[in-house]
Amino acid sequence: MVPHSRTESARWAAFRSWYGYSAFYCTPGEEGAHEKGGVEHEGGRFRRKHLVPPPVVESLAELNERLAAIDAAEDARHVHGRPTSIGFDFEQERHLLRPLPADEYDTGIDLTPVVHRNGRVTVRQCYYSVPARFIGTKVRVKLKANEVWVFEGRSVIARHPRLTRRYTYHDILDHYLEILLVRPGAFAGAAALAQARAEGSFTRTHEAFWAAAKKRAGDREGTRMLIEVLLLHRQLPADAVVAGMATVLKVGSVSTDLVAIEARQAMENQEPEEVGGEADTGGGHDRQANDTGHDHEATGAKVISLHARRLPPDLRTSLPDMSKYDRLLKPVTTHATTKGTSA
């Protein structure tokens, strides 16, 4: 073998072709140790200074953020014997480099696992949830350095942070809502709910709404009401849905329809209109807001009417005159009818 030649893999050849550079390989073994001594020395220095002891992180994304902060601090470092910093020297040489391509190179690996009965796919001995409707089907997975993307055709149906420990799992609560809506008794003990709580996506407002719904309608129906609210996250921003739940709880209601209305109102960032009387939500829980005996004005919350929100104002000052159309109601007298009457 020629000392500076290598048999390149297809992925490596595609990577360097994408960025438009050629590769130069050092002599293997002790004979070529001097050819890359500076690179190995700098790698060892960085590891000893910043990665000893090894950092303890929760995810690869957290590790990358920490490394990015270290790199930014390294820009201010001065190499021994040089008056300028590393960052300053790089800026002076930046114009000598080729510009990066407009699109980033896709370094991910394509896999095609089958979705198991528990709604998860297995990727490199780790488990990731997908929407329940894909159970039993084969999906395409893009395994990236920091993330795992699951596709149906060209549409992304799930995104997860990449796990680093074998036999661990990452679930998303939204993927199981259709199943839990049919079996609400399994909601409280669901692993996806525990993970949502740990990650902060299932907030204290969700907990308060769930407790109020169970107190009003019982454990089973109250849990179903919460799941219906969680389904709103698919169409509305999370902050808007949380704000809608908070407003509805202030008026002593647990109506899912009112949550949807208030969430859209919060998303529009407009002051809701005050409408007297009961709020007509069109749902099965429209009377609950008034059964509690709470004074809406005392709590400061405002409930809007769906009817008033959807119908435009009537700009007519008076009804039109319809008298000229009355003649259409009278029988028409023809010539034959008149002659027969005269006879």
Dihedral of the alpha carbons of 127, 132, 133, 139, in degrees to the nearest 10: -10
Write out pLDDT tens, residues 98-108: 888 888 888 88
Calpha distance 144→110 (Å, rounded): 9
Q: What is the pLDDT of residue 312?
A: 55
pTM greater than 0.85:
no
Residue 230 DSSP SS3: helix
- Give CA 139 to chain center in angstroms: 20
Q: What is the pLDDT of residue 32?
A: 76
Write out pLDDT tens, residues 25-45: 888 877 777 777 788 888 888
Do residues 131 and 122 make contact, with C-beta atoms less than 8 angstroms apart? Answer: no
In this structure, the strands spanning 126-129 and 169-170 are parallel
Residues contacting residue 311 through CB under 8 Å, at least 6 positions apart: none
> In terms of Cα–Cα distance, which of 7, 8, 25 is closest to 17?
8
Residues in the chain: 343
Mean pLDDT of the chain: 82
Quick check: 247 pLDDT over 70?
A: yes
Q: How confident is the model at residue 282 (pLDDT cuts 50, 70, 90)?
A: very low
Q: What is the pLDDT of residue 285?
A: 43
DSSP letter at 185?
G
Write out pLDDT tens, residues 152-210: 998 999 999 999 889 999 999 999 999 999 999 999 999 999 999 999 999 999 999 99
Calpha distance 170→179 (Å, rounded): 18
Q: What is the pLDDT of residue 299?
A: 44
Cβ neighbours of 142 (radius 10 Å): 18
Calpha distance 163→57 (Å, rounded): 12
Calpha distance 31→3 (Å, rounded): 10
